Chains A and B, each alone.
Chain A
Amino acid sequence: MLVEISGLTVSFPARQGRHVAVRDVSMTLGTEKLGIVGESGSGKSLTARALLRLLPPAAEATAKALRFDGIDVLAASEKQMGQIRGRRAGLILQDPKFSLNPIMTAGDQIAEAWRNRRKGSRREAREAAIDLLAQVQIRDPRRVADAYPHELSGGMGQRVMIAMMLAPDPELLIADEPTSALDASVQAEILKLMEDLVSRRNMGLMLISHDLPLVGHFCDRVAVMYAGRVVEELAASELAKAQHPYTRALLDCMPSLTHPRPRLPVMVRDPAWLA
C-alpha cells in the first residue's frame, strides 16, 4: 500500500482550546486514482499536506498511522522527508500564479527539481526541463522554459507545475484543486493530461476537489469529506448509489441538461452529520 492514513487528526490553537480541522480521518491509496471531495474548510487539503508534512507551523497532527510506503511520516527525520517530498511524491497546488516562484524562469524551476534527484550538469538539467515541458504538451518548450511565471497563462503555468513535479519520477502525485483557478475550457485539458501521465507512469494520484461529478469522472475511488471527517468512501462507479445524505445532496445540487428542473434544491445541513 502506497499511502496509509489511519485516525489522522489535525488541529490549530484557537482563542479557547484548539480548533480541530481534521478529525479521525482514515484512508488508503495504492497505484490508483483517489478523489477527495468536500467544500472549503472540510479538511481535504490539510489531510493531503499532512501526508507530506507540509502543514502550517501552527498546526499539530496526530494519527494512529500515517505512512508513505511504510515510512512513518510523523516520526520521520527531516532528511527522510526530503527523500519522500519531490522524489517519491509530488504536490500540485491550486493557482500557478502563486505556487510558482515569480522570480525564477519556468525552466529553472523545473531544472531545480530535476537536479535535486539526479546529479547532472546545468546543461543536462535544462535539456531535461525542456523535454519535460514537451511531455506536458507545451508546443514551444524552449520559449516557455525562458519565461517567468507572470508571462504564462494559468493553463500553461499549471502544465509547468506538473512538469516540475514529474521531474523526479515520483510514485504519487497529490493534486490540490489543480484546475479550480483555471478557465473551464482549460480544466478538462489539464485533467486529461494528468490522467494520461499518471496511468502511463503507473503512479498513484490523490485528486482533491470540490467538484464531485468531475472527481467521479476521473477517479477510481472517491472519499467525501465534511467538517473534517470522511463521511463516505465509495467506488466512483457507484457514486449514484451513495448513501450519505451529504453526498446525495451534493449530487442533487447539480443542474442537469437531460432532466431540467425549474429550481435547484438548496442543501439543508443536518447537525447530525457533525456527530
Chain B
Amino acid sequence: MTRHPTVQMLIRLGTTVSSLAITMFGLVLVTFFIGRVIPIDPVLTILGDHARPELVERLRMELGLDKPLPVQFWIYLKNLLQGDLGRSVMTTNRVVDDIRLYFPATVELGTVAMIFATVAGIPLGVLSAVRRNSALDQAVRVFSLVGHSIPIPVLGLGSLLVFYAWLGWAPGTGRVGVGYVGLTPSVTGFLTVDALIAGDTEVFWDAAAHLMLPAGVLAYFSMAYISRMTRAFMIDALAGEYVITARAKGLSPARVIWRHAFGNIAVRLVTVLALTYAGLLEGAVVTEMIFSWPGIGQYLTVSLLNADMNAVIGATLLVGFVYMLLNLFADAAYRILDPRV
C-alpha cells in the first residue's frame, strides 16, 4: 500500500520526534540518577565539613534533597521543561546562565576546528583515493593514522610546547590575551564575532590568534577521520559503473571525479561531518582543559571535581542534546539530499 507523500512525511516526522523524545528522556533519566548518587555531599560542599547540623538540615530541605528520588526526578523534569536547570553550587549562578556564558566558547572553538578539518580533510581524502597507493596516498594514510591514534593531551601539550614555548608563534592559553579580557560587549558570545561587531580589530586578531592552536589540535583529530572516510567512500564510488559511463562520455577527469564520483558520496559525507562535529564536542573537553579555554568542557570537568551536580547534569544534558540534534541532522540530510530515499 502506498500512502500519499505528505502522509508519509508526517508519519516519518512523527516517528523521528517520538524517538527523539524517548532518547531525550533516557538521557535525562541517566544523567539525573548519576548526578544524585554522587557520593560527595553537595550540602557539605557548600557549607564546609564543620557546619552546624541544623544548618545542614535546612539547606538539604531547601535543595529538595530530603524527598525520595522519584519525586526529586519529577520536580527536576518539571523544572527542566520550563528551561530551569537549577543553580550551580560552585558559581552560585543559574546553570542556564552559566551555559549561556560558557557554551559559545565551545561552539566557536568547535566550528573553527570543523572548518579546518573539512577544508583540509575532504580534498586530501579525494586525492588519495584518486591516486591510490601513490606517495601522496601513503603520506595521507600515515598522517591520518597518527591523527587517529594520538591522544589529545599529547597533541595539545606537544603543540603548546613547540608553537608557544619554543617557536613563539602562538600566544598562550585562554581565549584572549589578559589585557584584552572584557573589552568587547558580549553580543553573540563568540569573541571573534563580538570583536568585529564592536569594530575592535586588535581584540579580533588576538582572539583569532588564541583560537588557532586549540582549533588546530581539535581539527587534526577530526581531519584524520574525515579524510579516512572520504578516501574509503571515494574508492567505492570510483569503482562504480557510472564512473565508467561518465568517462566514456568523454568528460574531463576533474568533472568525472567531482561531479560524478564525489557527487555520489556528498550525502554520506554530510553524515560523517555531522557526526564529526558531534565528536568534536567530546574532544573539546580535554582540549579546553589543556588550553584553559573557558568552554562547556572545562565547566563540566571542574563541576565534576567539585560534585556540583546541577551543573554536571545541565552541561551533560546540553552536550547530549546537541549531540542528538546533530545525529538527527545527519539522518535528515540523508533523506533530503539523496533522491533515492
Contact = CB atoms under 8 A, between A and B. Distances in A.
Interface residues of A, number: 32
A86 interface: yes
Interface residues of B, number: 21
Contacts of B249: 85-86, 112-113, 116, 164-165
B250 A87 contact: yes
A161 B263 CA distance: 19
Contact of B248 (A54, A83, A101, A104): A54
Contact of A103 (B244, B250, B253, B263): B263
Interface string B248-291: 11111100000010011001000000000000000000000000
Contact of B251 (A52, A93, A98, A112): A112
Contacts of A103: 263-264, 267, 338-340
Interface string A99-126: 1111110000000110011000000000
Given A103-B264, A103-B339, A148-B340, A91 B245 contact: yes
A60 to B, nearest CB: 15
Contacts of A150: 339-340
Contacts of A168: 250
A172 to B, nearest CB: 12
Nearest to B267: A103
Given A98-B240, A103-B338, A82 B252 contact: yes
A44 to B, nearest CB: 16
A114 to B, nearest CB: 10
B247 interface: yes
A100 to B, nearest CB: 6
A83 B339 contact: no
A114 B252 CA distance: 14
Given A102-B264, A150-B339, A116 B250 contact: yes
B233 to A, nearest CB: 13
A101 B251 contact: no
A101 B253 contact: no
Nearest to B133: A57
Interface in B138-167: none
Contact of B246 (A52, A82, A98, A101): A101
A101 B245 contact: yes
Interface string A168-185: 100000000000000000
A104 B244 CA distance: 15
Contacts of A91: 244-245, 248
Interface of B: 132, 240-242, 244-253, 260, 263-264, 267, 338-340
29 contacts: A54-B244, A54-B247, A54-B248, A78-B253, A82-B250, A85-B248, A85-B249, A85-B250, A87-B250, A91-B244, A91-B248, A93-B244, A93-B245, A95-B241, A98-B242, A99-B242, A101-B246, A101-B264, A102-B340, A103-B267, A103-B339, A103-B340, A104-B263, A112-B251, A116-B249, A116-B250, A148-B339, A164-B245, A168-B250
Per CB-CB distance, the 6 closest pairs between chain A and chain B, nearest first, are A86-B250, A91-B248, A98-B241, A86-B249, A85-B250, A99-B241
